[in-house]
Structures are given as C-alpha cells and as structure tokens.
C-alpha cells in the first residue's frame, strides 16, 4: 500500500478507497443538463432514446461522463 509522509515525519497509509468517481446523476439533474422537464426524461428513457441511462433498483441514473459524451455526439450529428 502507498504511504504518504506527514509533517511530523510519520508514515500514513493512503486510503485505497478514495477515487475520482463522480456521483451518478438523477432524473432532475439529467433534465437540467438537457434543458428538458423530468417527465420528458422518463418518456425518452421509456422509448430508449437516452442510451446512456441505466436503472438501479428502478431508479434512473446516468454517469456524468456518459451524458457529456452523448451531448457532444448529438451536437456533432446536428452540425453535419
């Protein structure tokens, strides 16, 4: 395990459970980022028009990086 030095010179172990995972987005957050109503998010998910979303125990979630990539892809397609 990685060790870090402290000001007192003691060695402390780095926490192996700390990582750069961003929190998953919920429907209201997805809606805000897309500029649509939450109800529209539910409708789009039901029609499989938001491929980046998934369900956890029936709750719709999305990884921020997947949403950002999808938005960039949609923008690219719109400019062609």
| Domain around 45 | 22-78
What pLDDT is stored for residue 20 in this prediction?
74
Q: How far apart are CA 28 and CA 62, in angstroms?
A: 11
Q: Measured between alpha carbons, how far is 67 from 54 in angstroms, rounded to an integer?
A: 12
The CATH number covering residue 65 comes to 1.10.1660.10
Contact 55, 61 (CB under 8 A): yes
Tell me, yes or no, whether 13 lies in a domain: no
Q: Enter the pTM of the model.
A: 0.71
Report the number of distinct structural domains present in the chain. 1
* The two structure tokens encoding residue 43: 């409708």
Residue 44 belongs to some domain of the structure:
yes
Q: Walk along the chain (80 residues) in steps of 10 and give the mean pLDDT of each run.
A: 51 65 93 97 95 93 94 91
The confidence score (pLDDT) of residue 26 equals 97
């Amino acid at each position: 395990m990685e060790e870090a030095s402290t000001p007192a010179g003691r060695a402390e172990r780095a926490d192996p459970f700390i990582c750069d995972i961003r929190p998953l987005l919920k429907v209201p957050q997805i809606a805000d980022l897309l500029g649509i109503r939450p109800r529209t998010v539910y409708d789009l998910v039901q029609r499989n028009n938001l491929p980046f979303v998934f369900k956890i125990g029936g709750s719709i979630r999305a990884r921020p990086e997947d949403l950002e990539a999808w938005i960039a892809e949609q923008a690219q397609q719109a400019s062609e």
